[in-house]
Amino acid sequence: MNKISENRSFGGWHRQYEHASAVLDCRMRFAVYLPPQASVETPVPVLYWLSGLTCTDENFMQKAGAQRMAAELGIAIVAPDTSPRGDGVADEDRYDLGKGAGFYVNATEAPWSKHYRMYDYVVNELPALVEQEFPVTRVRAISGHSMGGHGALTIALRNPERYVSMSAFSPIANPSNCPWGELAFTTYLGADREVWKGHDTVELLKTTAARIPALVDQGSADSFLAEQLGTDTLEQTVAATDYPMTVRRQDGYDHSYYFIASFIEDHLRFHADHLKAAQ
């Protein structure tokens, strides 16, 4: 593991690392914010943040303004990249497929299956590395934006023993029924829509016995709301299943990091309550 950069922030440290990923069969980059409370004597819990289409580990760390509150609450933040990278990694000449668009699934279709295994990377390989190398506990929460919101919710729902809480901004909540999701799932997972259900928040909510506390924020002025995100269906499913998820509509907010920065404190405090209770 090689340290790429280091910046002091609110008494803690933002650091960027590169490492060889056995799961993805390429080198990967991730960022970690360690609050001032973090030490070998006092390890801290971790919030994993999953970013959206076209993003890297840098978008959230540079734009969301999360470090001040993470420092106050004593929470580490880990932000992986959104997909495998490298000259030998399969790609497409479009923003919503290939590099930057891993969709947090394990691809089963060639040529994608060789590298595109972001599900295993986020669930297993990256946390094992983080917990080995940094002063953090195994108490975890997960959050994300857009494609990353989809990833955060589905990963937590599939692995309720690993996360104490989950949240999302503008998640792709019903990817089996939107253009982004249909393209990605067909390409990475094949044509069988039954397989897709295992990576669809709406479908998972219908069948899960887990009750992980959840918070979702959605802006009313989001240009992707009508066609891509499935928020109406998410709200209907939450009501029908009585799932402990709060879905908030935020008037006038769009899909950008201006939206995330406006409500990230709420999400960090939400996770801090559950992380603290689990320690």
Active-site choice (145, 222, 267, 271): 222
List C-alpha distances in Å: 181 to 105, 176, 254.
11, 6, 20
146 belongs to the catalytic site: yes
**62 Cβ contact list (under 8 Å, min separation 6):** none
Active-site choice (199, 255, 267, 271): 255
| CA–CA separation, 64 and 265 (whole Å) | 10
List C-alpha distances in Å: 29 to 26, 62, 81, 246, 265.
10, 15, 6, 32, 25
Would you tell me how many other CB atoms lie within 10 Å of the CB of residue 227?
Answer: 10
255 belongs to the catalytic site: yes
- Tokens 């259900």 correspond to 197
| CA–CA separation, 267 and 83 (whole Å) | 24
Residue 109 CA to its chain's centroid (Å): 23
Active-site choice (146, 165, 167, 176): 146
Residues carrying an active site annotation: 146, 222, 255
